[in-house]
């Protein structure tokens, strides 16, 4: 790589430059700023900072927990959602608070504006409009970037969060292909060519998005109305942190709007079957892998031909428009077919399409090329976060942004990297999966990906991550005081339950509804709270104690009480993982020479170079026998070393 | 967690192997590799850095062609007393069973010779191997994985064709495949539970509790079936103990000898283990049979002696079947009656077969009512008797099919049992949807998978997702 660096021509210099201002980029910028870095945030259009490219929803199962984790580390996503959501649902509500998953629909415009406002509250962040033409290098090391407009900026670290813009190509049917990073926005090609030349591996993924329709053309009578469930719910701990945005006891949320449910019926399915060859995906125009969990409607029809019908959710795009997002109908069929399919749907007989659905193919950089902080192993000072790493989802992007931003700042300041463990957070699971396992389809988080889904919950994100944020000095004094107050409240709730008794007269009316036995005499509240179907909050109320405690505080305390034995079981597993995972594999380990390993394991271990046994264990193709032989080899070396020493 | 491999390999805890579990790496070990006292030849094996020195001391030769058998005389290294003519084979490291220098000495069978040669090896600087130490060294030498090591131990141990086959089956991955299949079933259950949580708004709607319950019950049944293979293992490994009972001169010894000729007899009178009986191991198809004759021995109780029936109460307590022998139907019934009276309550259902002995006339073999006619002299009825014994053993202890993967080792049994217990705990906690929320109780399902992984493989959470996407149309 030729040196392209000349300090004299720079317009400005930063500790960290972030390329892209989507959900990864904005979080990376804020995290780096909180960690004490000066930040330049470069995007091709400042108006699109915080743009939601696809579904206008934030959160959901596992993802909602990530939003809370990002928030606990001082990120934007939870706060912006509080300021922009027009519908809220707590998913899995019937399955107990341990698996509750918050999910919000947002007003796209409000969300963008909220992100930009929150971003600009950080004095250390400078926003820059420009499309990156190339990175600048000082020797082997990244030193800044130059935009197509000819502006040059210096930085010691660069975080790339270019989403689907890397040589993005939109497909509608088999004949229509448009270069672009999002509908209506240009793709970025120059940077990709430079990274290719630098020897980085680039692969292609595809994803899709459904058509948007004019809400005024929908016949709503007969559709199932899905009202907002919990208008008062707060996403962000800013309930404590940002008093100015509060309205009395609560964050000021925008007015709530309903969603509507309708169905793709047999005639719509038949239409899709008939035109399947004209779909970009099935007609051969796209070969790259798409996400299984977010299938196109073509996929649904082909793979589940016997399904009677498929649900469609009509979701409002915002307060300032009647446009609706047709969730469940992601498609790359030709526009006329899309229209015909839509009009086969009850309620959409006379629908007008505002934007056609499309599939998009884009570059991603296999994340096994990154270290555990998301820094490129090949190019010092270069970080990757978000969809460029082969993930999908705003929340996954945001989580990576935080990790990349924090670590870029710490690297610049020559501090120890910060790695979130699988047992501390879904962000930890996400990053660990990416850099050790890699991806073979666009990656999304599920609770199934975590070994610690009971310990790692949305209600305790602050408790899990605030100590880390504290050690990194991410918070100001007011934030610290609020965190301490929240933790003290949870402790108080537990202590109260352990200390106070509840009488049969107080408890039995509650217990009658749960099918459990009445109390023989006054019993400690904690004991009664262990019963299934009995909520700690209701017990406190019945016993007339703990009125000062917030609901979410009581829920956190309750979960720890009620599922103590399960949490213990999971924590013991975590201990074992730590113990085994703690075995470090030397960086110069010659796997190829270790003939007790399978050929596949030798190749994969040589390619991935895991740092620990835990990472080695998570690489597909590395068998238990391989792991066992690795343990034996490590033991052999340890003994040999001990013999030499003694 | 399974963890993805989130536990140490079996018996190898993180942070180091337990002190004392490893060879020092300096010792040269020696042991008899064939069972004591059996067969025409005995094999002694040496492993370790001084194996060649020991070999030189015993033979007076300096060099040996690698992996070629050499015929040579063995002498005591100190007294120079000749010990035996032997075939010795030299396997220099690393191309040997353990990965160390190994020598194998094939000497004449019988306790005296092998003991003398063993003593000579010790005198030349080797030390006696601990049980399983060769296999352990092979494991550490990277020559084996754990399952293979166990299978080899079983092969070496295998006294019978049946166990030999079972051991081969394990070496071939039969048990691994069976356990892998059960693990897949566990993962499918986990996927059902995860689907319900991860995809709350999909077309298919929530998973019905009946479906989850069905999956749990099917899995419990499969695990029980696999666990049920364990009790037959000692019988497969050591043979089913079949005790001869009858009056003195009822023809028991002749029958034993005749049956030894009919089937291949592997063991005769192993010293030190079965002093109270004459015992042969019949390598029959199906379950190997340990035929035990207590004739003429003084272990019988006074009461029994008064009844004039010879049988050892000690052996009866361990018998899998009894042959009640006599020349006449009345004598057979008398013997059977006495035996039934002596069987402990817990073994009251042990099959007792009536056998007519000395049926040397022209009527030949065959059944006489419920009694089997045999002639040791003419060799008739013996095959029929052996097959009747197999049938009775099958009826009483389950049909033993050697090719079926079975839990041959305690470690496997413990893991499968642990897995079963976790699933039962899940079932109880979840209580058909009325108890602990499914995903919380699913901690047990993950532990069940991890327990099976103890035997074969590390959990990959990706597997759960694969199950999930194959079965459900997800895509909100």
Q: What is the mean pLDDT of residues A522-549?
A: 91
Q: Of B187, B186, B193, B190, nearest to B207 (Cα)?
A: B193
Whole-angstrom distance, CA of residue A102 vs CA of residue B411? 44
**Residue from A244, A291, A275, A210 nearest A83 by CA:** A244
pLDDT on residue B473: 53
Residues 9-48 of B with CB under 8 A from A: 9-10, 12, 14-17, 22, 25
Contacts of B447 in chain A (CB under 8 A): 569, 573
The pLDDT of residue A408: 98
- On the question of pLDDT at B13 being above 50, the answer is no
Cβ–Cβ gap A617/B16 under 8 Å: no
| B15 contacts on A by Cβ (under 8 Å) | 579, 582-583
| A35 has pLDDT over 50 | yes
Mutate to test the interface with A, among B193, B197, B447, B458 (most CBs of A within 10 A): B197
**Interior/surface letters A506-522, b for 16+ CB within 10 angstroms, e for the rest:** bbeebbeeeeeeebeee
B205 touches chain A (CB under 8 A): no
Pick A486 or A406 by higher pLDDT. A406
pLDDT tens across A534-545, in order?
899 999 999 999
Which pLDDT score, from 0 to 100, does residue B395 have?
Answer: 81
Residue A599: its pLDDT value, please? 73
> Given A446, A616, A627, which is nearest B9 (Cβ)?
A627
* Residue A532 C-alpha, separation from nearest chain B C-alpha, in angstroms: 6
Give yes or no for residue A634 having a pLDDT over 60: yes
Contacts of A563 in chain B (CB under 8 A): 436, 440
pLDDT score of A589:
84
Contacts for A456 with CB less than 8 Å, ≥ 6 apart: A65, A423, A424, A425, A426, A429, A450, A464
SS3 B120: helix
Whole-number pLDDT of residue B461: 45
Average pLDDT value for residue range B354-365: 76
Give the model's pLDDT for residue B5.
34
User: Are B197 and A577 in contact (CB < 8 Å)?
Assistant: no
A interface mutation test: which of B18, B144, B196, B200 has the most A CBs within 10 A? Answer: B200
Quote the mean pLDDT of chain A.
Answer: 88
Q: How large is the average pLDDT for residues A511-533?
A: 88
Q: What is the mean pLDDT of residues A351-376?
A: 94
Task: Retrieve residue B259's tokens.
Answer: 């049956």
Burial class for A620, CB neighbours closer than 10 Å (0-12, 13-18, 19+): middle
Structure tokens at B311: 């049988």
Q: Report ipTM (2 d.p.).
A: 0.79
Residues 6+ apart with CB under 8 A from B123: B76, B77, B78
**CA-wise closest residue to B364 among B384, B343, B389:** B384
- Show the tokens assigned to A148: 């197509």
pLDDT tens for each residue of B386-424: 889 988 888 887 656 655 677 766 667 888 999 999 999
Whose tokens are 């020696």? That residue is B30
What pLDDT is recorded for position A613? 77
Residues of chain B with C-beta less than 8 angstroms from the C-beta of A91: 200-201
The reported pLDDT for the residue numbered A121 is 92
In terms of average pLDDT, the best of A629-643, B111-125, B270-284 is B111-125
Q: What residues of chain B lie within 8 A of the CB of A327, using their CB?
A: 476
Q: How far is CA B67 from CA A61, B73, B100, B156, B401, in A?
A: 63, 18, 13, 20, 37
- Asked if B473 and A307 come within 8 Å (Cβ–Cβ), the reply is yes
**Res A392 pLDDT > 70:** yes
Supply A117's token pair.
């406002």
CB contact under 8 A, A95 and B7: no
- C-beta atoms of A295 and B474 within 8 A: yes
- pLDDT (0 to 100) of residue B242: 92
Nearest 10 degrees: Cα torsion B139, B145, B148, B154: 40
To test the contact with chain B by mutation, choose from A624, A625, A635 the residue with the greatest count of B C-beta atoms within 10 A, namely A624
Residues of B in contact with A631 (CB under 8 A): 8-9, 12, 14
Choose among A329, A118, A90, A219: nearest CA to B475: A329
Reported confidence tier of residue A36, pLDDT bands at 50, 70, 90: very high
pLDDT surpassing 60 at residue B38: no
Closest CA in chain B for residue A625: B145
Average pLDDT over residues A65-81: 95
Q: Which residues pair with B127 in a beta bridge?
A: B29
| Chain B residues with CB-CB distance to A440 below 8 A | none
CB within 8 Å: B443 and A570: yes
Nearest to B12 among A596, A623, A631 (CB): A631
On the question of pLDDT at B12 being above 60, the answer is: no
Highest mean pLDDT among A375-389, A510-524, B148-162: A375-389
Given a cut of 50, is residue B22 above it in pLDDT? no
Sign of the torsion formed by the C-alpha atoms of A564, A567, A572 and A578: negative
pLDDT band for position B296 (cuts 50, 70, 90): very low
A153 CA: distance to closest CA in chain B (Å): 42
- The partner residue sitting opposite B469, judged by closest CB among A292, A577, A616, is A292
Is residue A428 classed exposed, middle or buried when 0-12, 13-18 and 19+ CB atoms within 10 A define those classes?
A: buried
- Which tens digit of pLDDT belongs to each residue from A305-361? 888 899 999 999 999 999 999 999 999 999 999 999 999 999 999 999 999 999 999
Q: Indicate yes or no: CB of B473 within 8 angstroms of CB of A300.
A: yes
Nearest C-alpha in A relative to B193: A448
The closest of A55, A101, A103 to A81, measured between CA atoms, is A103
Q: What is the pLDDT at residue A17?
A: 98
d(CA B238, CA B235): 5
B438 touches chain A (CB under 8 A): yes
Residue A577 pLDDT grade (very low, low, confident, very high; cuts 50, 70, 90): low
Q: What is the mean pLDDT of chain B?
A: 75
The length of chain B in residues reads 476
Tokens, residue B269: 């009178």
Question: If you ran DSSP here, which 8-state letter would residue A182 be given?
Answer: B
Is there a contact between B170 and B443 (Cβ–Cβ < 8 Å)?
Answer: no
Please tell me which residue, A630 or A141, carries the higher pLDDT value: A141
Return the pLDDT at B148: 60
**In Å, how far is B101's CA from the nearest CA of chain A?**
18
A89 preceded by a cis bond (ω within 30 of 0): no
B9 contacts on A by Cβ (under 8 Å)? 624, 627-628, 631-632
Backbone angles phi, psi at A250, to 5 degrees: -125, 160
pLDDT, tens only, B218-240: 999 999 988 887 777 777 766 78
Give per-residue pLDDT as tens, A408-422. 999 999 999 999 988
The answer to whether the CB atoms of A623 and B202 lie below 8 A apart is no
**pTM for this structure?**
0.74
- Would you state the structure tokens that stand for residue A311, as one six-digit string? 């649900």
Crossing angle of helices B174-198/B209-227, nearest 10°?
Answer: 160
Of B277 and B185, which is predicted with more confidence?
B185
Cα of B426 to nearest chain A Cα, Å: 11
């Amino acid at each position: 790589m030729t040196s392209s660096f000349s300090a004299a021509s720079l317009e400005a210099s930063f500790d960290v430059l972030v390329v892209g201002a989507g959900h990864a980029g904005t979080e990376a910028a804020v995290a780096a700023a909180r960690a004490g870095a000066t930040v330049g945030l470069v995007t091709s259009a400042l108006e699109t900072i915080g743009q939601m490219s696809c579904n206008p929803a934030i959160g959901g199962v596992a993802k909602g927990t990530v939003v809370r984790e990002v928030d606990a580390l001082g990120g934007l996503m939870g706060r912006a959602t509080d300021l922009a959501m027009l519908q809220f649902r707590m998913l899995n509500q019937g399955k107990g608070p341990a698996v509750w998953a918050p999910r919000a629909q947002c007003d796209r415009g409000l969300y963008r504006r909220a992100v930009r406002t929150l971003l600009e509250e950080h004095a250390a962040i400078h926003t820059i409009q420009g499309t990156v033409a190339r990175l600048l290098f000082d020797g082997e090391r990244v030193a800044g970037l130059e935009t197509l407009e000819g502006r040059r900026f210096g930085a010691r670290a660069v975080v790339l969060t270019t989403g689907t813009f890397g040589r993005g190509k939109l497909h509608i049917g088999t004949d229509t292909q448009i270069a672009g990073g999002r509908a209506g926005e240009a793709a970025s090609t120059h940077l990709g060519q430079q990274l290719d030349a630098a020897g980085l591996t680039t692969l292609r993924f595809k994803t899709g998005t459904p058509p948007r329709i004019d809400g005024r053309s929908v016949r709503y009578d007969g559709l199932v109305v899905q009202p907002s469930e919990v208008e008062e719910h707060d996403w962000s701990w800013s309930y404590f942190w940002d008093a100015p945005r509060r309205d009395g006891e609560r964050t000021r949320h925008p007015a709530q709007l309903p969603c509507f449910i309708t169905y793709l019926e047999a005639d719509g399915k038949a239409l899709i079957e008939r035109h399947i060859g004209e779909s970009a995906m099935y007609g051969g125009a796209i070969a790259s892998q798409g996400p299984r969990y977010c299938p196109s409607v073509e996929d649904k029809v082909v793979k589940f031909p016997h399904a009677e019908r498929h649900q469609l959710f009509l979701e409002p795009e915002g307060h300032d428009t009647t446009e609706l997002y047709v969730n469940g109908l992601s498609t790359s069929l030709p526009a006329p077919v899309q229209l015909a399919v839509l009009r086969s749907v009850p309620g959409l007989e006379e629908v007008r399409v505002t934007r056609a659905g499309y599939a998009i193919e884009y570059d991603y950089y296999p994340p096994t090329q990154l270290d555990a902080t998301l820094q490129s192993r090949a190019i010092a000072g270069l970080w990757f976060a978000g969809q460029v790493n082969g993930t999908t989802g705003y929340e996954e992007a945001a989580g990576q942004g935080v990790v990349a931003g924090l670590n870029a700042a710490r690297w610049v300041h020559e501090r120890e990297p910060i790695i979130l463990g699988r047992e501390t957070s879904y962000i930890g699971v996400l990053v660990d999966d990416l850099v050790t396992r890699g991806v073979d389809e666009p990656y999304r988080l599920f609770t199934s990906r975590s070994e610690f889904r009971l310990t790692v919950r949305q209600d305790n994100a602050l408790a899990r991550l605030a100590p880390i944020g504290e050690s990194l000095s991410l918070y100001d004094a007011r934030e610290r005081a609020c965190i301490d107050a929240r933790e003290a409240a949870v402790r108080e709730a537990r202590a109260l339950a352990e200390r106070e008794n509840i009488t049969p007269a107080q408890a039995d009316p509650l217990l009658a509804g749960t099918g459990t036995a009445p109390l023989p005499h006054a019993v400690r509240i904690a004991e009664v709270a262990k019963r299934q179907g009995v909520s700690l909050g209701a017990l406190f109320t019945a016993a007339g104690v703990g009125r000062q405690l917030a609901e979410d505080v009581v829920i956190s305390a309750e979960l720890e009480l009620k599922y103590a034995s399960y949490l213990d079981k999971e924590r013991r597993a975590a201990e074992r993982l730590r113990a085994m995972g703690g075995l470090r594999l030397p960086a110069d380990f010659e796997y190829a020479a270790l003939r007790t390993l399978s050929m596949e394991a030798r190749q994969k271990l040589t390619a991935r170079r895991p740092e620990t046994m835990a990472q080695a264990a998570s690489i597909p193709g590395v068998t238990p026998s391989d792991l066992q032989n690795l343990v034996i080899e490590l033991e052999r070396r340890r003994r040999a070393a001990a013999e030499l020493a003694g | 967690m399974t963890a993805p491999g989130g536990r140490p390999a079996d018996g190898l805890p993180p942070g180091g192997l337990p002190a004392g579990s490893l060879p020092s790496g300096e010792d040269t070990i020696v042991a008899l590799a064939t069972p004591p006292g059996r067969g025409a030849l005995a094999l002694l094996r040496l492993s370790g850095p001084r194996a060649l020195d020991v070999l030189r001391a015993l033979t007076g030769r300096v060099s040996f062609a690698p992996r070629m058998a050499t015929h040579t005389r063995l002498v005591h290294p100190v007294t120079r007393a000749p010990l035996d003519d032997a075939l010795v084979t030299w396997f220099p490291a690393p191309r040997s069973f353990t990965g160390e220098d190994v020598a194998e000495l094939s000497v004449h069978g019988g306790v005296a010779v092998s003991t003398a040669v063993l003593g000579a090896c010790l005198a030349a600087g080797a030390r006696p191997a601990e049980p399983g130490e060769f296999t352990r060294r092979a494991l550490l030498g990277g020559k084996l994985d754990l399952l293979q090591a166990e299978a080899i131990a079983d092969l070496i141990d295998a006294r019978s064709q049946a166990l030999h086959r079972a051991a081969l089956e394990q070496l071939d991955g039969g048990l691994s495949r069976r356990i892998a299949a059960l693990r897949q079933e566990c993962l499918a259950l986990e996927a059902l539970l995860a689907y319900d949580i991860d995809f709350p708004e999909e077309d298919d709607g929530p998973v019905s509790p009946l479906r989850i319950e069905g999956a749990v019950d099917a899995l419990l049944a499969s695990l029980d079936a696999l666990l049920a293979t364990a009790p037959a293992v000692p019988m497969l490994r050591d043979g089913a103990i079949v005790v001869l009972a009858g009056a003195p001169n009822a023809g028991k010894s002749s029958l034993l000898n005749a049956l030894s000729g009919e089937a291949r007899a592997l063991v005769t009178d192993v010293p030190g283990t079965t002093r109270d009986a004459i015992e042969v191991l019949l390598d029959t198809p199906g379950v190997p049979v340990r035929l035990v004759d207590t004739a003429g021995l003084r272990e019988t109780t006074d009461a029994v002696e008064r009844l004039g029936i010879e049988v050892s109460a000690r052996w009866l307590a361990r018998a899998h079947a009894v042959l009640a022998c006599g020349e006449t139907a009345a004598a057979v019934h008398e013997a059977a009656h006495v035996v039934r009276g002596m069987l402990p309550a817990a073994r009251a259902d042990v099959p007792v077969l009536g056998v007519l002995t000395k049926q040397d006339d022209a009527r030949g073999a065959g059944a006489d009512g419920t009694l089997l006619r045999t002639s040791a002299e003419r060799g008739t009825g013996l095959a029929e008797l052996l097959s009747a014994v197999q049938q009775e053993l099958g009826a009483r202890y389950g049909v033993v099919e050697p090719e079926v993967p079975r839990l041959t080792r305690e470690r496997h049994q413990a893991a499968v049992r642990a897995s079963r217990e976790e699933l039962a705990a899940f079932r109880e906690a979840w209580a058909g949807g009325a108890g602990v929320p499914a995903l919380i109780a699913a901690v047990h399902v993950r532990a069940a998978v991890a327990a099976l992984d103890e035997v074969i493989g590390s959990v990959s959470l990706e597997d759960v997702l694969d199950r999930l996407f194959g079965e459900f149309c997800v895509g909100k």
